[in-house]
Structure 1
Amino acid sequence: MASQPAKLQKPSGAVQCVGPLYRSESQKPSATVSTEMNLDNVHILPQTPQLIALLTIIRDRNTEREDIAQRWVMLLDPMFATGGSAIMAVEVLKSRGVLEERILFLNLIASPEGVRAFTSKFPKLRVVTAFVDEGLDEKNYIVPGLGDFGDRFYTM
């Protein structure tokens, strides 16, 4: 999977936000990223009006797929805090024969701690995130974060 480095700019005096920065058409879209991540297998998506995330759950009732080892797997998790759940999910996929380099981990908001723990364990796996937040609090919640993703997504 080929990738190219992207240069992201944080405008001076910018406040942290989760979403696109709407500017005049003469300016290129840029993203506000609170934490720099200089890891080859971590890609932060630029936040532009064209970037729209829709998460859906698709469940195959026949979960014993024999051909999973031959497939590309997109692992989705909206909030990437400690990395514990993602690590366990990848270990299950690898135990079923899926190669690490055939797994793509996608999330909306990540913590630097989770990214480091995850990528140190799976250096060949690609991580794509929309935003790297400041870090984790004493309860391992992403800060500043966005609250309970499930409640917000399902408008509870």
Structure 2
Amino acid sequence: MHDFYLIKKTETQDEEFFQYFWRDKEQYIDLIVEYIGLEDNLVEYIFDSLTWIPCRNPSLPGMPQDIGFNNIGVTLFEEHSAPCLISIFTAWCDLLKNGPEEILKMIYYHDYSEDELLRFDRDYAIAKFEKMSSISKQLSEGNYYIYHMGI
């Protein structure tokens, strides 16, 4: 599961806050505006496009600017991330609207079993991606962060 939290910006948030938010989030419930959970199969399907998003890495000293989504750790998205987030999630919504009710990604490079097929419900994915686009629009206002915790 990939957890995304739209959190309010405050003047007291520092590097340590972002490094440990995932662990102490119950203490900051008043800062959490929205939450979205994306299943790993959805993220895996669109992963390549998530590597294009400008972000910060709270796990590294100084929270350096980065490009891409930290699949197995934390990622911090700021106001400058918003246009790319909005564009990517809106584009995936538009693309999936043309697909079948069940999206199926087959693994072509070897023999595969039914368990190895990546599948998900199109309308469910569109609803999740629309919500991601919506919180990304709020991010663009400059008053929030999107904090991601990967698998």
TM-score, normalised with respect to structure 1: 0.27
Query: Quick one: higher RCO (CA 8 Å, sep 6+), 1 or 2?
Result: 2
Greater helix content: 2
TM-score, scaled to structure 2:
0.28
Structure (1/2) with the larger strand percentage: 2
